[in-house]
Amino acid sequence: MISEKLLKELNKQINYEFYSEYLYLAMSAYCESLDLEGFSNFFKVQAEEERFHAMKLFDYINEMDGRVKLFAIDEPKTSYNSLLDVFEKALDHEKFVTKRIYTLADIANEEKEHATISFLKWYIDEQVEEESSFNKLVKRLKMIKDDSHGTYMLDSELSQRTFIPPTE
């Protein structure tokens, strides 16, 4: 049985993951407003990944005989200055999520809650991938700058992304 303190933080994390889903849908809509369907697709797939992250926590809490609590989801930012602005904000958001996961891991470690320590390892590894993916795209957008050909090429590449449920 997980402690009340840890349960509260795990439930808060469900909310952060659903907020991430919302945020990336807002970013997808922004890209769509620029007629960049590949970028829009990239964020739609990212939103699906976030839902997967939320549901994995949802299922874990239930498995541990805890009580899932769903909180109101904050309204995400919907206007951005540029594609680079979108990706820089996405990267900042992922860094924030990484800190949140570390906070959860710290509590689980303090409490010697080994099942949750093991469970959270998946999220720690996933965050490395998430930050790396956004970091690379920020760098590529900085290289592309205002070059419309480069933007089009990247848009075309990102249109290929599909949602593949992450491996356990």
**Residues binding ligand FEO (CB under 6 A):** 17, 20, 50, 53, 94, 97, 130
Give the CA dihedral 72, 73, 75, 78, nearest 10 degrees: -160
Instruction: Provide the token pair at 118.
Output: 């093991």
Tell me how far, at minimum, the Cβ of 82 lies from ligand FEO, in Å.
21
Please state, in angstroms and rounded to a whole number, the distance separating the CA atoms of residues 102 and 45: 25
Question: Minimum distance between the CB of residue 104 and ligand FEO, rounded to whole angstroms?
Answer: 12
Nearest distance in Å: CB 1, ligand FEO = 25
The encoded tokens of residue 167 equal: 């491996």
Q: Among residues 44 and 53, whose Cβ is nearest to ligand FEO?
A: 53
Residue whose C-beta lies closest to ligand FEO? 53
How many whole angstroms separate alpha carbon 114 and alpha carbon 101?
15
Considering the complex, state which of residue 19 and residue 80 has its C-beta at the smaller distance from ligand FEO. Answer: 19
For ligand FEO, give the closer residue by CB, 17 or 151.
Answer: 17
Lookup: tokens for 113: 């809650």
